Amino acid sequence: MRKLMIPVLVVALALMLMSVFVIPEGERGIVIRFGRVLKDNNDISRIHEPGLHFKLPLFDRVKTLDARIQTMDGRSDRFVTSEKKDVIIDTYVKWRIEDFGQYYLATGGGNALTAEALLERKVTDVLRSEIGSREIKQIVSGPRNKDVLPEADDTEVVTTEAAKEALEIDGERDQIMSEVLVGTRDSAMKDLGVEIVDFRMKKINLPDNISDSIYKRMRAERESVARKHRSQGREKAEVIRAQAELEVATVLAEADRTARVTRGDADAEAAKIYSDVYSKDPEFYGFLRSLQAYEASFSDKSDILVLDPKTDFFQYMNTSKGAQ
């Protein structure tokens, strides 16, 4: 009897260990019995929360699934706009399992790669439809916030048609992401048992050939604006230079007029002084003027004057009367 108890205890212990399972934190568990997911009385898959649980040994198999929000970083794909132009969009999707039983059956045993492949197909189809009904300028820009637009004063003007058009665009990028989220949420829940939490377009690029043409056009527009500013600058410089030259000419003319008037007044005053002196003592005045003439004539030793000694110029040198 004792010999039988040991094997029985071992088998009982093994069965007990096989009937116990633990669900880690952040995951959920479902029990598979004969290839079917166990359900409750309401025909809803029985979900086991994190903790210790029991199952039938040998018959039940436990499948643990990640219950946290997961990120599907989709690959860049090419889309065609309503203008028949290509854009390359890089997206990502935030999702989590909501119906674990449906997810298990739809993904072939809870394969996350299969789930993301199916989910990516749904998102791409809806996104392709949304992109195909809009232009590039609506796709790449968000909604225009009229409350934060700067108020232009007299010195601020829009110089290019592209800039004017940019102020009038009411982008629909946010609306596109919202439409894709709404358009895929119901089908993802129904077909895969997952909830799409969020969808975002993280990068929008143009093909290289289109980008080059756009950059060339932008460069041409900027060069046109630069030329216009340079032309305006040269025009203003000419105006400023002409005004400065006019002011200089006016100042010089006024200064010359003032100098001439002052010089005329001084000459008149000097002539008056000479006249007064001459009228008081003509002889002394003549003598003084002769000395000044001598000083001016013989200031340089190299000067040579050929004059008749009897001329009046030497009257104060030749006669004792003139020397007095």
259-291: buried (b, 16+ CB within 10 Å) or exposed (e) per residue?
A: eeeeeeeeeeeeeeeeeeeeeeeeeebebeebe
Assess contact for 83 and 140: CB atoms under 8 A. Answer: no
pLDDT in tens, 16-55: 777 788 888 888 888 888 777 777 777 777 888 888 878 8
Contact present, 110 and 61 (Cβ < 8 Å): no
Name the CA radius of gyration of the chain, rounded.
53
Query: Any bridge partners for residue 95, and if so which?
Result: 70, 196
Query: What ranges do the domains of the chain cover?
Result: 2-66, 70-147+164-206, 208-278, 281-324
**Helix, coil or strand: residue 115:** helix
d(CA 150, CA 155): 13
The pLDDT of residue 250 is 94
Tell me, yes or no, if the pTM score tops 0.85.
no
Which pLDDT value is given to residue 1?
61
Asked if 164 and 158 touch (Cβ cutoff 8 Å), the reply is: yes
Report the SS3 class of residue 29.
Answer: strand
Does residue 39 sit in helix, strand or coil? strand
Q: Tell me, which fold does domain 70-147+164-206 have in CATH?
A: Tetrahydropterin Synthase; Chain A (3.30.479)
pLDDT digits (tens, 9 = 90+) for 248-282: 999 999 999 999 999 999 999 988 887 877 777 77
- At 152, is the pLDDT very low, low, confident or very high (cuts 50, 70, 90)? very low
* pLDDT at residue 294 is higher than 90: no
Give the pLDDT score at 313: 62
Specify the pLDDT at position 42.
74
Average pLDDT, the chain: 80
Give me the numbers of helices (H) and strands (E) for the chain, helices first please: 10, 9
State how far the Cα of 55 lies from the Cα of 33, in Å rounded to an integer: 10
Q: What is the structure's pLDDT at 95? A: 93
Kindly report, residue by residue over 209-251, the tens digit of the pLDDT: 766 777 788 888 899 999 999 999 999 999 999 999 999 999 9
With contact defined as beta carbons under 8 Å apart, do 123 and 75 qualify? no
